[in-house]
Amino acid sequence: MTGAPAAAAGQVRLGSLTVNRIGLGARFIQDPEAHGALLRRALELGVDLLDTADVYGNSEVAIAAALHPYPEGLVIATKGGQTLVDGTPTGDGRPEYLREACERSLGRLRVDTIDLYQLHMPDRNVPIEESVGALGELRAEGKVREIGVSNVFGQQLELARRAAPIVSVQNRYSLMHRDSETEIEFCEREEMAYMPWWPLGGGELARLGPEKAIAWLLQRSPAMLPIPGTSSIEHLEQNVAAASVQLTPDEVAKLETAASA
């Protein structure tokens, strides 16, 4: 996969794993028949990281149905620790719940070890050290290769890092939403990957061109690992094309001005 277009942006480390710097957010991957071609095209383009979660409907099952047995070098990341309460995403970071969630994801993905398992969001009723500590136990048991956190900021990130080795942070970040600068700097300093969710602003940045919006992210930090989600092969190809885009300082300034307008 390293010779494909996505590799043009270089690579980033996830602990013991190394991936190209443009992944695929698999939230919209729900049907292996409808989306299998998109997944296979992503691999052809050099996308070697798929990011999903147990709360993304049928995503884990669809990925396994379309791609298992997985090609060598493909990294599958998933998440646990979020539930819906009256339609509102709510953290459930109890160690026993995280263990059950991980076991279910292992079964749906048809693997013995999850490459990157992420705490989806903190639980206000459970210290984050306990939640991440539970993921550390799963890692020690061989059920998880590497650990990441999502929707974690400031001191919570420091506490999470003390509880277990953390290789990635996944928070919202884009040209339009830049509230996670501190966490990006943390990732740079600690040699961790930063995986921005909604890197295209939930579609709001389409008017600027997805290639430019993702290229801006790639140039923002060497830790950046965008994971734009799509169910369209055309959009996938546009997203991956960002790997070859080099923005001038003037173009960067114009993009930032346009995004804030």
Q: What is the pLDDT of residues 117-133, one digit of tens each?
A: 999 999 999 999 999 99
CATH for 151: 3.20.20.100
Each residue's pLDDT tens digit, 170-227: 999 999 999 999 999 999 999 999 999 999 987 778 788 899 999 999 999 999 999 9
pLDDT at 165 (0 to 100) = 97
Residues classed as catalytic? 56
Q: Which domain holds residue 215?
A: 5-260
Angle (CA) 217-78-236 rounded to 5° is: 45
pTM for this prediction:
0.96
How many separate domains does the chain show?
Answer: 1
Alpha helices (runs of H) in the chain, residue ranges in sequence order:
32-44, 59-67, 95-109, 128-140, 154-163, 181-190, 210-220, 233-241, 249-260
